[in-house]
Chains A and B, each alone.
Chain A
Amino acid sequence: MNSVGEACTELKREYDQCFNRWFAEKFLKGENAGDPCVQLFKRYQLCVQKAIKEKDIPIEGLEFMGPSKGKAENSS
């Protein structure tokens, strides 16, 4: 899968590989040795956040899980 920033796809793939390994082999097993992918993530984020700004994609200021907090399960 490509990144929204064309130049970031390779950085994204490197990070994804590192993350998927850590996720399956450490995180899910409850091992908290720390995240070995921090540097890769930083490089990837520098690239992708720049692309997001350039394309004017409105992701700023949106609270995590925010819109869902007001949702009751039986509303329509």
Chain B
Amino acid sequence: MLRNQGPSTDRWGCLLGCWIQEAHKHVLTEDIVHREVTADQKLLSRRLLTKTNRMPRWAERFFPANVAHSVYILEDSIVDPKNRTMTTYTWNINHARLMVVEERCVYCVNPENSNWTEVRRDAWVSSSLFGVSRAIQEFGLARFKSNVTKSTKGFEYVLAKMQGEAPSKTLVETAKEATEKAKETALAATEKAKDLASKAATKKKQQYV
């Protein structure tokens, strides 16, 4: 499990504006498939996203059947304007035998300073495949961390612009910094994952001798 928590400098309304407009890289399609307003004035939504399947090369060799298919992701969300909270829960509904990544984010107004929004982000990465599961989990966690870095930095940039502030860095610098950090994380994870996968493969061979 991974938890990431911290304040982000914006008001509640601006945050939701960003949620609506947030552009995801690698997203091919986005659809609302369910929406309702409850009796107690909460907005429930379900979004279906399709994303490109970006498996690393070493994984393609192990899971050739998964290569061709896009990933389908559902995002369920509850917006509570009275209490100024928003909860989103996101998970993939295919490629599930390979890896499931679930993420829950709770956004609420910081109780000590109403100009600040708090985000609590929990994530679970799991795989049911014997032997390779740790390699997949390491990869999944690293990918998640690098995506969080990128999306948080993108988020902060957009929020700063919406408030009419000059962001402390240009978008290019922000993106570059996030990409560098993400590359480092991904590289370290790839090496570790390759190592784990080859150990698992060796172990599996030995069992059938």
Report if A67-B48 is in contact (Cβ < 8 Å); known contacts: A3-B29, A30-B81, A48-B31.
no
Cβ B81 vs Cβ A67 within 8 A: no
Q: Which of B1, B33, B78, B81 sits near A27, CB closer than 8 Å?
A: B81
B94 / chain A contacts, CB cutoff of 8 Å:
57-58
Contacts A27-B81, A30-B81, A71-B124: A12 and B31 contacting too (C-beta < 8 A)?
A: yes
Tell me the count of chain B residues lying within 8 A, CB to CB, of chain A: 39
The answer on a CB contact under 8 Å between B33 and A76 is: no
Instruction: Say whether A71 contacts B122, CB under 8 Å.
Output: yes
| B43: Cβ under 8 A from any A Cβ | yes
Contact across chains for B50 and A4 when beta carbons are under 8 A apart: yes
Known contacts A2-B29, A4-B29, A73 near B122 by CB under 8 Å:
yes
Given A1-B30, A71-B104, A71-B124, A65:B76 Cβ within 8 A: yes
Task: Report yes or no: B82 in contact with A28, Cβ–Cβ below 8 A.
Answer: no
Which residues from chain A contact B91 at a C-beta distance below 8 Å? 67
A28 touches B1 (CB 8 A): no
Q: Are A68 and B29 in contact (CB under 8 A)?
A: no
Give Cα distance in the complex from A22 to B2, angstroms: 35
Decide: B13 and A28 in contact? CB cutoff 8 A. Answer: yes
- Encode A13-26 as 1/0 by CB contact (under 8 A) with B: 00100011001100
Number of residue pairs A-B, CB distance < 8 angstroms: 89
Q: Given A20-B20, A30-B81, A68 and B104 touching (CB < 8 A)?
A: yes
Contact check: which of B30, B35, B93, B102 meets A59 at CB < 8 Å? B93
- Residues of A within 8 A of B (CB-CB), count: 37
1/0 contact trace for A63-74 toward B, CB 8 Å? Answer: 011011001011
Query: Is A35's beta carbon under 8 Å from chain B?
Result: yes
A5, A29, A59 pick with most chain B CB within 10 angstroms: A59
User: What 6 A-B pairs are tightest by C-beta distance, nearest first?
Assistant: A4-B29, A1-B30, A68-B89, A76-B1, A65-B76, A2-B29
For this complex, 25 residue pairs linking A to B, each with C-beta atoms less than 8 Å apart, are A3-B29, A3-B30, A4-B31, A4-B48, A19-B32, A24-B13, A27-B37, A28-B13, A28-B81, A29-B81, A57-B48, A57-B72, A57-B93, A57-B94, A58-B93, A59-B74, A62-B74, A64-B34, A65-B78, A67-B89, A71-B102, A73-B3, A73-B122, A74-B1, A75-B1
Q: Known A-B contacts: A29-B81, A67-B102. Give 10 more (CB < 8 A).
A: A4-B29, A19-B35, A23-B20, A30-B41, A44-B32, A49-B33, A64-B46, A67-B91, A71-B124, A73-B122
